[in-house]
Structure formats: structure tokens, C-alpha cells
Structure 1
Amino acid sequence: MSRDATDPTAPARSALNRIPSVERLLGHADAAALGAAYGRSGLVEAVRAVLSQIRTEGGPVPEPAAILARAGERLAEERRPSLRPVFNLTGTVLHTNLGRALLPEAAVDAVAAVMAGASNLEFDLGTGERGERDSHVEALLCRLTGAEAAIVVNNNAGAVFLVLNALAMRREVVVSRGELVEIGGSFRVPEVMARAGCRMREVGTTNRTHLRDFEEGIGPRTGLVMKVHPSNYAIHGFTAQPEERDLHELCRARGVPLALDLGSGSLIDMAAYGLPPEPTVRAALAHADLVTFSGDKLLGAVQCGIVAGRADLLAKIRRSPLKRALRVDKMTYAALEATLRLYLHPERLRQDLPTLRLLTRTAPEIAAQAQRLRPAVAACLAGRAEVAVVGCTSQIGSGALPVETLPSAGLALTRPDGPGGRRGAGGWCKRVAGALRLLPVPVIGRIAEDALRLDLRTLEDEAGFLASLERLAI
């Protein structure tokens, strides 16, 4: 009797012996296309990884074509970008986790024009000498805000940090106790001041701060008075804050700069477009020496932070070593400049600026879109979900107008057993939400009231949405 006849591992060893070699697989006809697409070294690595899996799994050995197909899938997955487009149907227009503002077409074109080659980022084409990178946007910012000077850094948190460090390092910064906020990512004003080398001097109370509190708080060690725009919250009821005009006069009389962290950075009167009012940068600068704000919130451009205000203070800030550490690249300047230029033509701004276009969509317009899409979405989900048109509310997001909402409409996906079958609806919604995140272009909604709700305020690419939805597997 042979040894293999009594060896229980013989079949497994025999199967492993039939696994083709890497060289044999590379000589297969299907390998040529994979090698051309991903390179020989990448293909070799993928084939070896698949063969290792086959040895670990045991069982029948796949045909060479099937092995190469698995290698191709592995290569495709490895090269799939981590940062991908998604459909933001959460109801939050400026969603921090989903990239905030959508760039206008002009900004996309401007970035594409400079990103693939050399540009005059810090080169003065007139003199042939070294230039200043902020020059590409400073004049525009001053024209649109009324500031004497302006600089751009990586984000508004960086702008605040730079102002504090450059103007008040080893000195006191007077701030109302009611404005010691924390925003996303545990960015806390007291901690930022400490890291910037400043000593915080709180005045007033959580809900009420008066001008006399600032009068008593400003002293010989004061380097800066700072006001912080509320972010993601609002205090109502028995509250008080001094008028910024009066506070600014006090600061000028004491020879201390007043800086305002405006946050969202609106350059236009939002109320003129039927939206809740928000302080504009120009209005803020009328009663402050410096204003810091974001580029990718209500301004509608790319992520950056902007400091605008008095020329003498900006000159001091430019000399700070931190300015270089926080500077932005050519793509940011290109996108910001192109977006700012849109504001020079206010009659077209609603059409050309995506943020404003999405915020000003009316509820009837969005409801009509929901009615138009419902049959197609229901067909994609036939037997797997009930689809209904529902009214809902959107929010601006990213700390802009935190308690204001906008009437909207959308689609509600519920279990196919109808309203009476609420048991287990939460788990069903989570499974569907997970399946939507796996689509070629993921769809991100929100779960509320035993339904997965898709707010359509931000949906402009209907064809792309439906094409992605056809691949849903639940």
C-alpha cells in the first residue's frame, strides 16, 4: 500500500501541487493587459498575494484566468483613491466631514490651469523680481471687504492662532467668558490662546458681558481684545454683549487692537437673497481692527483662513515666522482668486457660486425634484424599500447660522413592510445606509424617524445619482 493511500493530508498536498507558478501565470494571455495597466512589479506582487490566499484557504485550485482576475481586483482596489466624490444628501449644505463648499466652475478651471506646470506664485512678472504670494488675492479681498490689507493662511483656526501669536505673545488677551467656545475637533479658544503664547483674561459671565467688564479687563499687559463669533450654538434669553462700535471706541482709546473671529466669512448680505442674516466681513471691519474668517464656508471657495484689517497690524503679522508655516499653495490662491472675482458681478453670483445657489433653492423647487425622482428611485429599490416624498429642513452647517434652518424636501426610504412594521427599522436603516456608502459614488443621507432620509437640496447631478443607485445591493 502506498504512503499516500493512508495519508489524510495527501489530497490537500496534491491540490497545492497543482497551484501554477508565478512565471506561468505571467505568461498567460490575460496577464498582458494587467501588466500594461499596473506594471510588472505590481502584478507580480498581486499574483503572489492571491496564491498565498489560495494556499491558506485550501480547496480546489482556481483556473489561471480566475487567479489573474482576483489579482486584477486586488490591484484595482489598491489603486482606488481614498478621497472620493460622494452625494451629500444629509441636509447640511456646508458639511465639514464632506468637504464644505463646492468650488465654482471658474475656480476648478483656475486650479487646473496652474497645477500641472510652473506659475508666478512668488514672481513679479512686471519687475522680474521675487513677488509676494498674497498679492494674487489681496487687492480683491480689500476691494470686497473694505480692509486696508489682507493675508491668507491654511484655515481660519490658523488665522486666529497667527493673530494671537503675532500680536499678543507673552501678553494678555481680553475675551468675554461667553465666547470661550469649542468647535469641531476639540478646537478650544482657551487652549489656542495658551498655545499661541498668550495669557487669557476672561471678563463678564457666560450669558452677560458689559462694556464696563472690558474697561476693567484692559490693562498695561493687554496685547489684544478678541471677540469670537458663536459657532454651532446660540445663547438666548437673559443675555448681553456690548455693541461692537462701543467696544471698538474703547479699544482705540486704550491703544489696544480689537480682533473679531467672524468664522463663516460672508461677503454679501445674505438677507438680500432671502436667507437668515449673517454679519458680513465689511460690516465687521467697520468696528474692528482685524477680522479672521474662512474661505470654504459662506464665502464659497477653497479651505483657507483670511486675516483682513489694518495695514500696520497686517505688516506685523506678515513678519511672524508662523506666517510661512501656515501659508497656502498655488492651487489655493488660484481657487480663491477665481471665486472672489465672481463677487465682482453680483447679478450672476447666485448662478455661478454653488454655495449660494444651493442655499437659495426654494422648497417647492426641491419638492418638485423629489416628485420627479421618486419613481426612478422606487424602481431601483423595488421590493427592498418604500420610497416617499417628504418635507424636511436643511441647515447651512460649519458653524454658520447654527440655529437657523431652511425648508427643503427629500425622499424617505423605509422598510417595505410599511409603517406598521417599525420593529427592527433602526437596524434596517443602518444596513441601507451602509449599502449606499458602498456605491460607486457613495450616497450619504441621515437616519431619522425610522427612515433613511435623503435631503435633495444639494443634489444637482440627478443622472449620476440614479446611475450610482442602480448598483445598490441590499
Structure 2
Amino acid sequence: MKKEKDAPLLRALPAVDQVLKLPPIEALLVDYDRGLIKELVRETIADSREKIKKGADFPLGPDGKISSDWLFGQISARMDQLLRPSLKRLVNATGVVLHTNLGRAPLSRAAALAVADSASGYLNLEFDLAAGERGSRHVHLDRLLRAVTGAEAGLVVNNNAAAVLLCLNTLAADQEVIVSRGELVEIGGAFRIPDIIRRGFARLKEVGATNRTRLADYRQAISKETALLLKVHASNYKLIGFTESVSLADLAELGKKRGIPVMEDLGSGLLYDLSGAGLPEPIVRKSIAAGADLVCFSGDKLLGGPQAGIIAGRRDLIQRIQKNPLTRALRPGKLTLLALQAVLGQYLKPRTLPQNLPVLGMILRPADEVKRAAASLCRRIHKLWPEARAQVLPDQAYAGAGALPEEAIPTFVVALKPKGISAGRLAAAFRAAPVPVVGRIKQGVFCLDCRTLLPGDDRLILEAVTTIAASPPR
């Protein structure tokens, strides 16, 4: 019976070619690719067919076919969705400074301006202006990297996993890489150090135990096949209790005696000393000074730049890596180099760095200042939406992206507890704002953490509050 009931509506669906001849669709064809419009028409008709089978009803036109106006509306909606950018600016009120899901480090104004100034035109990416001939994109940041790390040379690729992979493939393909069992970490997205080593066509040799590794373990494991001693910073977890590990300086001394390069994967890429703020995280320059032959780290974590993998160390090793064909496959684009060049340049003025680099500014911002910002935001939210029952509460923020996993940063949040609205629904309403606001839910309460707000974000939050207050979620 249901099939018989559906049959008239199914017959009322027009053919694709008929829809393409409709005047409003023909107007679309003037500006847009015919193949694209045809595919959207197919999708609309197929979707309508499935809905009819599930019992949906549709408006019919004078010709007995499904209304052409309705069809055009559906096709236009699909076109709008296709044209609407999926990536969009949002407000990070989560309290996680380097939120991987939210793009990690926000770029400094200097970096954003550098990209905007040059991206729309040509630039000397691989052109030597002095010689008037082809050059290398790798020369642009070498001097800056040497200045901020203390290394002999530097190289930039597209992310830190690529940097590690490239070093392993260049220096240890078909040979052994010795790593402590306690450092065989998973670096996120299910990518594990043993997997990276295998993909680099090197052979992993584990030494020590999960909680204790001694220098003697490395010494005894070295063989004629050993090409690299690898130390991995345990950035996203911490071993406590009955533990022992080998310092980078001791490992570097062993490597030097045995003629084996020592490489450290630092991950977070800190170039600015945070120990004064009680935040212990290894610094790239100190790793170089301790004797590491190569150090790999990320550009978009504590460094505060764009996504990139940076290799700093001995010039002869960097030169070998540059000659690896994989270097071309993993090379960064011009936008990355422009942004990173601007950010590294800011490190040459360390005194003003916290004011000019958003990541460091957020991490080092005094708690009292965050509290005042939260109080101000709370008052303004209360004026716009008294029913939200906004209040300021102390809480803890984190660096994120695997950096400083045990080091909580004091912060203050604006907690919203409107009656009859669950925290989940309120969070969804904020995410649906014209400029999405992403907060966090703690103990069943939706919170806006003021430590991770950028200048102007409070205005965007208030705009979202105004929209939500006019039509609260139920």
C-alpha cells in the first residue's frame, strides 16, 4: 500500500535535464560550472526520492510535477552550503592555549601582516635576487634559526612528525636507532614513535625499562649497526615515582665518544624561558648547548608560529638532510615561511615577546588580570541576559598540545547556569553563533575561560549572548 501511495509523488519528480532547463537554474549556469550544477540537481532529486519513500510530502506545481520553486530553493541551499567556508574564525574560551582541534597557536599580528602583505603577489621564494638565478627556499630562515637556537644550521619542513621522519630516513635508513623504552611515546592522532621509526626505514632498538633507563643501557646496546641515538621529550605525559633517565648531556657525550649522532625530539619547541613563571619545559637552545647534534620541534606549539617542523643542529647533518628527496615532498609553502620568518624575528626582542606573541601572552598573563577581565565580561553578560546567572569562578587552564601536561595555570572563568537549559545545549548554542564560541563544561556547568581570549573576543562573546538571550535553547 505504501508503494502505491508513494508512486504519484515519485512520478512527479522531474528528470535532471528538465530541471536544468528551468530559468532560475539556467541563470546559475551562467556563473557556475555546468557539471557542478548538474551534480547538485542529481543530489536534490535523489534526496527527494528517499524522503518520499519515508513518507514525506512535497508541493506540486501546476504541471503536476514537484514545484520548480521548491526545487530551486533546495538546489540553492546546497550551493550556499558548498560556497560557505568550512574553516572559520572562532573564540577559544576553553582554557587550553594550544588547542590542537582549534588550530593550536594563533599567529601574532606581525605574522598575519607578513602573510597578508606578500601572499597576494609574487615573492623570491626560490629566486636569488643578487645572482638573478634560481635559489633555495631553505635559505630564508637559516640565519634566524641559528640566531634563536644557537645551532649551526636549521631547516623547516611541514610539521614535526615530518621533521623526525626525515632525520631518521636520512641518518638511519636500514640501520639501528636506539631509544629508551620510557620514551616510545604516542604523539597524537595515534602516531607513535616506533611507527615513525619504521616509516623512516630504520630499525628500532629499545633499551632500559619503561620507568628506568641508564647510560649503561645505551652503551651496551650500541653496535656496528647503530646510526642514531634518539631522545624523545615526554611532552604529553609524566613518569613519577621510581624512575631514572639519562640526561641529554650524558647521552651526547656518549654519542661523541662513539661517533654516533644524538638527536632530540623536543616536540613543543620552546624558545623562551618559562621557568621564571614556574613552568618547566626544555628549551631548544639548551638542548643544542647540551650537545645534541640535531633537535626537532614544532612551529605551532610553544614557539607560537604556523604549523611547521623545524630541525636545528650540525650543519653537515642538515646538509645531508636537505639532499634527501623526501625533503622536497615535506617542504613548507610560502605562507608558512612568511609567517614563521615574522615570528622568529620577534624572538630577537625577548623583552617585548610576551606582549607581541599571543601564546606567550596568554600563558604568562597574571592571574589578577585574568580575574579582572572575567569580572568585566560577567557584568556585561548579566546586563544582556540576567537569566544566565553568570558568575566568576577560579579554575585551571593548560598550555595544551602536549606541552606542560602537569602544569596547571591559574585562571578565572565566567560560569553560566540558566535555569532549564542544560550545559550541553548552552554549549551548542554558543557554537552555533555567527562567530562560534567554544567553551568547556565542568561539573555540569558551561564555562568561558578568560585566559585564552584574544583582544576583541569579549565583544564576540557578547554578540553570541545577545543572540542566545533572544531565543534561548530548550
Q: TM-score range by the shorter chain?
A: 0.7 to 0.9
Q: 1:61 to 1:171 in 2, by over 3 A?
A: same
- The Cα shift of 1:53 comes to 7.4
SS in 1 for 2:137: coil
In the alignment, is residue 467 of structure 1 matched against residue 466 of structure 2?
no
Matched-pair contact (CA < 8 Å) for 1:16–1:61? no
Matched-pair contact (CA < 8 Å) for 2:266–2:295? yes
What is the match of residue 346 of structure 1?
A: 350
In the alignment, is residue 286 of structure 1 matched against residue 289 of structure 2?
yes
Matched-pair contact (CA < 8 Å) for 2:13–2:45? no
Q: 1:162 to 1:12 in 2, by over 3 A?
A: closer
Matched-pair contact (CA < 8 Å) for 1:107–1:334? yes
Unaligned runs of at least 5 residues, structure 2: 62-66
- The Cα shift of 1:317 comes to 1.0
Q: Distance in 1 between matches of 2:80 and 2:23?
A: 17
Q: Which of residues 354, 372, 377 in structure 1 aligns to 2:376? A: 372
In the alignment, is residue 88 of structure 1 matched against residue 92 of structure 2?
yes
Matched-pair contact (CA < 8 Å) for 1:22–1:48? no
Q: 1:128 to 1:9 in 2, by over 3 A?
A: closer
2:284 is aligned with what amino acid?
V
In the alignment, is residue 387 of structure 1 matched against residue 390 of structure 2?
yes
- The Cα shift of 1:36 comes to 9.0
Deviations 1:35-85 (A, max 9, x none): 998799978887897788789543556998887666554432221111111
2:57 is aligned with what amino acid?
G
In the alignment, is residue 167 of structure 1 matched against residue 171 of structure 2?
yes
Q: 1:316 to 1:53 in 2, by over 3 A?
A: closer
In the alignment, is residue 106 of structure 1 matched against residue 105 of structure 2?
no
- The Cα shift of 1:459 comes to 1.3
Matched-pair contact (CA < 8 Å) for 2:231–2:248? no
- The Cα shift of 1:23 comes to 8.8
Matched-pair contact (CA < 8 Å) for 1:297–1:398? yes
In the alignment, is residue 441 of structure 1 matched against residue 441 of structure 2?
no
Unaligned runs of at least 5 residues, structure 1: 1-6, 418-424
In the alignment, is residue 456 of structure 1 matched against residue 465 of structure 2?
no
In the alignment, is residue 296 of structure 1 matched against residue 300 of structure 2?
yes
What is the match of residue 64 of structure 2?
A: none
Matched-pair contact (CA < 8 Å) for 1:343–1:349? yes
SS in 1 for 2:405: strand
- The Cα shift of 1:376 comes to 3.2
Q: Distance in 2 between matches of 1:237 and 1:296?
A: 32
Matched-pair contact (CA < 8 Å) for 1:174–1:224? yes
1:465 is aligned with what amino acid?
I
1:441 is aligned with what amino acid?
V
SS in 2 for 1:245: helix
Q: Distance in 1 between matches of 2:31 and 2:366?
A: 47
Which stretch shows the higher mean deviation, 200-209 or 66-75? 66-75
What is the match of residue 336 of structure 2?
A: 332
Q: 1:221 to 1:84 in 2, by over 3 A?
A: same
CA RMSD, Structure 1 to Structure 2 (Å): 3.0
TM-score, normalising length: structure 2? 0.86
What is the match of residue 432 of structure 1?
A: 426
Matched-pair contact (CA < 8 Å) for 1:275–1:360? no
Q: Distance in 2 between matches of 1:360 and 1:72?
A: 48
Q: Distance in 2 between matches of 1:53 and 1:295?
A: 44
In the alignment, is residue 58 of structure 1 matched against residue 57 of structure 2?
yes
SS in 2 for 1:400: coil
Q: Which of residues 411, 414, 418 in structure 1 aligns to 2:417? A: 414
- The Cα shift of 1:466 comes to 1.5
In the alignment, is residue 398 of structure 1 matched against residue 397 of structure 2?
no
Q: Distance in 2 between matches of 1:177 and 1:23?
A: 64
Q: 1:151 to 1:51 in 2, by over 3 A?
A: closer
Q: 1:54 to 1:76 in 2, by over 3 A?
A: same
TM-score, normalising length: structure 1? 0.86
State percent identity of aligned pairs: 46
Q: Distance in 1 between matches of 2:439 and 2:221?
A: 47
